[in-house]
Structure 1
Amino acid sequence: MMFEPKRIHPVGMILNLIKAIKSYIASFIVLFFVGGNIDFNIYFFLGIVAIFAFMLLSSFLEWLKFKYWIEDGEFRIEHGVFVKKKRYIPIERIQSINIRAGIIQQIFGLVNVQIETASGGIEAEAILTAIKKEDVHTIEQAISIYKNGASLSQDDEEKEIELPTYKISKKELLIAASTSSGVGVILSAIAAFISQFDEIIPYEKIYEQFDFLANASFTIYAILIFIAFVITWILSVIGVLLKYAYFTVTKDEKEIRISKGIFEKQQVSIPISRIQAIRIVQNPLRELLGYSTIYIESAGGSASDQGLSTILFPVVNRKDVQILLAQYLPSFANEQTVYPLPKKSLQRYLFRKLLPAVVICIPLIIVYLQWGLLSIVLLPIGYYWGYLAFKNAGWVINDNRLQLSFRVISKTTVLIQRNKIQSMKSKISYFQRRNGLQTISVTIKSGVLGKSFVVKDLDERDADLIVDWYSYS
């Protein structure tokens, strides 16, 4: 099957211009605020106009020269203004076609298409920034025809409509939003943003406006901190609601398709053959409420697409996890109770979690005396954290599948098929050797860099058993 060479939609020119402006905007901001002795006369502004005109012209030429088509079993792209570039991607190497639609694309009824291959990379193998939805369907159909050796019949289309489909409920979406760990991300983002404008923000005047707080009571400070936390929590909830609204999972014989979002709609296709592991995560709040998040670890993908991990189900009642896995990924279903760590591992887990608390408490008590004594509350928290990490760690082997459990902050269970394990390492320190303990590290091919899962302080015989199970393969 063959396409005549096509251009992306003219909206692509706007997107190219926005991309070009973004690449220069940081320089303009620095020049404007740090310029100092620069004479902002008419020649300066004429220079700005000339740069903008150049970006406009290059965006138009880039759109004009960009063409794509399918021919002789290859997805072909030609682009380049001054240097003509060609990229030919064999169709059999195409693993997935991911679809996004930002605000601009949605206004014009267009989508952004990212074509991924098994090799992965920093960016997708090919990106079509603005094409019509029917063109996406034509591309997918052409690839399917080439791979399957036959055209799609009406029966096939009917089967596609009847595929197993999961849609997030309003209750689950609200739980996912209210129990997400996005508060820390938002606080970090705000701090990082403010830090970029230290020279601009008039801190002294701001401090003068709130000088009355210098003599405020502890209660006032506590109320202000609580209000700030509530505001960031609300922002986090809104962000998650927008990101995971209309979250849908569809499965056919060869791949799983995940779509989500309001302002930026996304659709990701993950070939089932490329799935390396399943990760079931419970952050402390969701664990308390009995909910989990299920991730797919898949090979391929790109760093720009954050292909290291993909959320399969944002929030699922703990009792429904196995039901959903049995329906969508039956080879990973039937999670079992893990073999726990030996009791002699407990003291090592407690020590690792208590040490940071002690390191924080001592200088605070020395410097701040009475107020520093409040930091002692970190000790029982560290002790309980260490106990939970010990209690939740373990392993179990079920035929050709390894199940590992561990806790950093969130409780995590990983399900890995033996033939998907890239490497397995057994580590032993001096103190572990004295207690007959070992650490197991399992690496899979996930995204661009791969991913490792570690369970510390296993019984030496259990660690040897796991290594022997993998070596036997």
Structure 2
Amino acid sequence: MMIFKPKRIHPVGMILSFAKMIKSYIIPAIIFFFVGVEETFNIYFIIGAICLVVIIVIVSVLEWLKFTYWIEDGEFRIEHGVIVKKKRYIPIERIQTINTSAGIVQQIFRLVKVQIETAGGGLEAEAVLTAISKNEADEIEQALSAYKNQLPEESIVESEVVDKPEHPTYKIKPRELFVAASTSSGIGVIISAVAAFLSQFEEFIPFEQLLNRFEFLTNASFTLYVILVFLAFFIAWILSIIGVLLKYAFFTVHKVEDDIKISRGIFEKRQISIPIARIQAIRVVQNPLRQLLGYSTVYIESAGGTAGDDGSASTILFPVISKKEVVELLSIYLPSFKVKEEVHSLPKRSMLRYIIRKCLLSLVIIIPLSSLFFPWGLLSVSLLLVGIYWGYQTFNDTGWSVIDNQLQLTYRFVSKSTILVRKNRIQSISHTKNFFQDKKLLRSFKVSIKSGILGKSFSIKDMDADDVEKLLSWYSYSPENKTRH
């Protein structure tokens, strides 16, 4: 059977559809269970719940029966819908990437989930096939590639994928995976998730009974409180490590012709394919701990679609690599992007402005602590020293450079970021000045690129006015013929 003929997804799709609908009813069911009075939990409630489950099962089966996909007349076509029949025809030339992933259910049945993304796609994928075989996913990719390359249909068969030549491959090392896990910011996510859960269900959690069990802590020493807080953060840190290990295990990068293919994960295996032509910029990030250890994280900023893990256009290319490997790996996978160690620094007259800004942020913490916990809160004044050091390091790490047709910006808020963007990928550049900057001949410089749906901007504050003019001239004119690039 040719791949072009209408097909259904695997019957496992019914299970996934059922689970998705059940998930949407879980929260209302929990709320109803807790707030409902006992008299309502009678035979009618049980019958109603059974009927609801039966309806969901029937709808899941009908959705599976009505969902078909095929390729015809240069379009990827999908028809679905139980009551209202819906059709979606996607021109193949608009299709940018085909991303695959496999959750626990898909892995049990050796299936994958396929997301098809287009250049002008929104926050969600243009089309999703929740459960098909890996061979079918490969055949779809072959068929779309054949259409784009105007190959004859006879060359696309429903057989095993032919062996491809060797391509550059990067696999994360155990040491790098451990560094990525132990130095991630996942601890904040876990604490936020716990806080959000408690806030949503605070009416149903017996806080008073729990507090009574720990009433002995009211007379505990300050040291014991410090130990308990430390243990809480340590547990959150361990959980974040486990989460990152599971997420980025078996992280692999392949360069296949004009695409970068990234795969990773244990419980949820995910594969992302990014055309090199869609890459708008490279972002190299070092949080303070990773910078201290000499490691960086490399991101790809791509145009349109939802390539990133979080639905954004930022995709991790290398979770954690040593600083010296950044240049080497970029030269292999994306040779048009180059990192330059030496950059043009900010003028010294900018340093005081950077320090003042960070000290003002410190005061936001110092003032309430000093007033609420007087006199011990006055110890927080020492945070001004942190602000001074933070401001100086931010000033010291900020700079810019130009390598042929590539602009490099380096700056810091908490993490140090290095942005690499080609001239032909820059959507716009701009500069602003306020009264105080103008007196010091300083400017704020901003570069905008097409990344995701809304785009993305990177900026440096308090650059020398002459340096800003140089960058404006570089962007506006080609050095060879003095014409617009």
Shorter-chain TM-score: which interval?
A: over 0.9
Corresponding residue pairs, total: 471
1:157/1:391 CA distance change after superposition, 3 Å: farther
How many angstroms apart in 1 are the aligned matches of 2:208 and 2:366? 32
* Residue among 427, 451, 457 paired with 1:422: 427
State whether structure 2 residue 202 is matched by structure 1 residue 198. Answer: yes
Name the structure 1 match of 2:418: 413
> Quick one: structure 1 residues 38 and 342, their matched pair in 2 at CA, closer, same or farther if it must change by over 3 Å?
farther
Equivalent of 1:314 in 314, 319, 332: 319
Q: Which residue of 1 aligns with 2:78?
A: 77
Q: Give the drift of 1:380.
A: 1.1
| Pairing 1:102-117 to 2, within 5 Å after superposition | 102-117=103-118
Q: Give the secondary structure class of the aligned counterpart of 1:171.
A: helix
What is the match of residue 299 of structure 2? 295
Q: Which residue of 1 aligns with 2:180?
A: 176
Q: Distance in 1 between matches of 2:14 and 2:351?
A: 61
Quick one: distance in 2 between partners of 1:201 and 1:305? 30
Residue of structure 2 equivalent to 1:257: 261
The answer for unaligned runs of 5 or more in structure 2 is: 478-484
One-letter amino acid of the counterpart of residue 137, structure 1: D
Aligned counterpart in structure 1 of residue 393 of structure 2, from 388, 391, 396: 388
Name which of structure 1's ranges 128-137 and 28-37 shifts more when overlaid on structure 2. Answer: 28-37
What's the RMSD between the two structures over aligned residues?
A: 1.8
Whichever residue aligns with residue 214 of structure 2, its letter is F
Letter in 2 for 1:236: S
* 1:367 alignment partner in structure 2: 372
Residue 398 of structure 1 is matched in structure 2 by 403
Query: What corresponds to 1:13 in structure 2?
Result: 14
For the 8 Å contact 2:71–2:77, the answer to whether it is kept is yes
Cα shift readout 1:395-442 (whole Å, capped 9, x = no counterpart): 111121110011011000000001111121211112111211111111
1:217 CA displacement? 1.8
Q: CA deviation at 1:334?
A: 4.0
CA deviation string 1:217-251 (max 9, x = no partner): 22111111111111111101100000000000000
CA distance in 1, matches of 2:382, 2:398: 25
Give unpaired runs (5+ residues) of structure 1.
none
For 1:439 and 1:35, locate their aligned partners in 2 and report how far apart those are by CA, in whole Å: 58
Q: Quick one: distance in 1 between partners of 2:299 and 2:110?
A: 30
Tell whether the 8 Å contact from 1:123 to 1:304 is kept in structure 2 after alignment: no
Q: Which amino acid aligns with 1:145?
A: A
Distance 1:72 1:456 in 2: 52
Separation (CA, whole Å) in 2 of partners of 1:429 and 1:51: 62
1:436 aligns with 2:441: yes
Q: CA deviation at 1:279?
A: 0.2
- Partner AA of 1:210 in structure 2: F
Give the TM-score of the pair, scaled to structure 2.
Answer: 0.94
Residues 274 and 299 of structure 1 are in contact (CA less than 8 Å); yes or no, is this contact kept in structure 2?
A: yes
* C-alpha deviation, 1:37, in angstroms: 7.7
Deviation of residue 362 (structure 1)?
2.4
**Percent of counterpart pairs with the same letter?**
60
Deviates more, 1:256-265 or 1:452-461: 452-461
User: Please, which of 216, 219, 235 is the counterpart of residue 215 of structure 1?
Assistant: 219
Deviation at 1:134, TM superposition (A): 0.8
The question of whether the paired residues in 2 share the 8 Å contact of 1:254 and 1:272 is answered with: yes
C-alpha separation in 1, matches of 2:42 and 2:331: 69
- Aligned-partner Cα distance in 2 for 1:304–1:116: 14
Letter in 1 for 2:266: I
Tell me the distance in 1 between the aligned counterparts of 2:295 and 2:90.
Answer: 42
Q: Residue 126 of structure 1 corresponds to which residue in structure 2? A: 127
- With 358-367 and 321-330 compared, the bigger mean Cα shift is at 358-367
Q: Which of 232, 239, 245 is equivalent to 2:243?
A: 239
- Whole-Å separation in 2 of the counterparts to 1:38 and 1:467: 74
Partner in structure 2 of residue 337 of structure 1: 342
User: What letter corresponds to residue 140 of structure 1 in structure 2?
Assistant: E
Structure 1 residues 317-342: Cα deviation after superposition (integer angstroms, max 9, x where no partner): 00110000000000002434211111
Q: 1:293 is paired with a residue of what secondary structure? A: strand
The one-letter amino acid of 1:108's match is F
- Shift in Å, 1:161: 3.9
State the one-letter code of the partner of 2:337. F
Q: Does the CA-based 8 Å contact 2:339-2:420 persist in structure 1?
A: no
Give deviations 1:57-94, integer Å, cap 9, x for gaps: 11111100000011121111111111111111111111
